[in-house]
């Protein structure tokens, strides 16, 4: 099945609310602008599954797992590990919610 510009989470241009939707939306926009941000790295991590779900993603950032952890470590070394895991959980929650709604 070819990728659609939006997945089942989006209908008639109105974005449905799913857990982590804000991060995915922001990450896609950051990737379009070429910005390396926490949301852009998170979308890059989830890109294979997000594409299978039908999202038409811009080019992603290579080695996103390492880069995300390093970015979080630079921001606050003491909380990098727990923040990384929390972000991954939000990504997975989004993916599961969209798949369940499809």
User: How long a stretch of residues is the chain?
Assistant: 102
Residue 16: inside a domain: yes
Q: What are the distances in angstroms from CA 29 to CA 23, 78, 81, 85?
A: 10, 29, 25, 22
Residue 69: inside a domain: yes
Residue 4: inside a domain: no
Reported pTM: 0.83
What was the pLDDT predicted at 16? 59
pLDDT digit string, tens, across residues 24-78 = 999 999 999 999 999 999 999 999 999 998 888 999 999 999 999 999 999 999 9
Backbone angles phi, psi at 11, to 5 degrees: -135, 130
86-102 mean pLDDT:
89
Q: How many structural domains comprise the chain?
A: 1
Specify the higher pLDDT residue, 94 or 3: 94
Distance CA 32, CA 40 (A): 9
pLDDT digit string, tens, across residues 3-19 = 444 444 443 333 557 88
Instruction: List the end-to-end C-alpha distance of the chain, in Å, as a whole number.
Output: 14
Looking at the DSSP assignment, which residues form a beta bridge with residue 14?
11
For 24, the domain range is: 10-101
């Amino acid at each position: 099945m070819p990728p659609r510009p939006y997945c089942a989470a989006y209908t008639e241009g109105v974005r449905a609310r799913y857990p982590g939707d804000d991060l995915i939306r922001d990450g896609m926009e950051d990737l379009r602008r070429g910005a390396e941000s926490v949301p852009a790295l998170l979308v890059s991590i989830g890109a294979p599954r997000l594409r299978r779900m039908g999202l038409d993603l811009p080019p992603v950032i290579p080695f996103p797992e390492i880069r995300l952890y390093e970015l979080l470590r630079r921001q606050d070394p003491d909380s990098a590990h727990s923040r990384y895991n929390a972000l991954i959980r939000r990504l997975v929650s989004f993916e599961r919610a969209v798949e369940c709604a499809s």
